[in-house]
Chains A and B, each alone.
Chain A
Amino acid sequence: MTDVRVAGVGLTPFGSHPERTGRDLFAEAALRAFEDAAVDRSDVEELNYGNFMGALAEHQGHQAPLMAEAAGVRCPATRYESACASAGVAVREAVRTVAAGDADVVLAGGMERMTNLPTDEVTEGLAIAADDLFEVRAGVTFPGAYALMANAYFDAYGGTREDLAHVASKNHANAVSNEYAQYREEVSVAEALDAPPVAEPLHLYDACPITDGASALVLVSEEYAAEHDLDASVAVTGTGQGTDRMALGDREHLARTPAADDAADAAYADAGVGASDVDVAEVHDCFTIAEVLALESLGLFEPGEGIAAAREGTTTADGDLPVNLSGGLKAKGHPVGATGGSQIAELTRLLRGDHPNSGHVPDAEVGVAHNAGGTVASAVVHVLEVAE
Chain B
Amino acid sequence: MSDDGGDASPPADRDHAEWLDALADGEGFALVCPAGHGSLPPRRVCPECGSPDLSREPLAEAGTVETYSVVHVPSPRFADDAPYATAVVDFGPTRLTGIVRDGDETDGPPAVDVGDAVAVEVGERATDDERLVVFRPAGGE
Contact = CB atoms under 8 A, between A and B. Distances in A.
Q: Do A and B come from one complex?
A: yes
Interface of A: 120-121, 123-124, 127, 133-141, 143-144, 147-152, 155, 196-202, 245, 247-250, 254
Given A138-B132, A139-B81, A140-B86, A249 B70 contact: no
Contacts of B72: 196-200
A124 B40 CA distance: 23
Contacts of B73: 123, 141, 143, 198-199
B99 interface: yes
Interface string B71-102: 11111111101001011100000111111000
B35 interface: no
Contact of B13 (A133, A141, A201): A133
Contacts of A133: 13, 16, 40
Given A123-B73, A139-B84, A250 B39 contact: yes
Contact of A197 (B70, B94, B99): B70
A128 to B, nearest CB: 10
Given A149-B67, A254-B66, A123 B97 contact: no
B130 interface: yes
Q: Name the interface size band of chain B.
A: 20 to 34
A127 B99 CA distance: 16
A42 to B, nearest CB: 45
A250 B95 contact: yes
A246 to B, nearest CB: 9
B88 A148 contact: yes
Interface in B8-46: 13, 16, 39-40
7 contacts: A124-B76, A134-B96, A137-B130, A139-B81, A151-B67, A245-B47, A249-B94
B51 to A, nearest CB: 16
B50 to A, nearest CB: 14
A147 B69 contact: yes
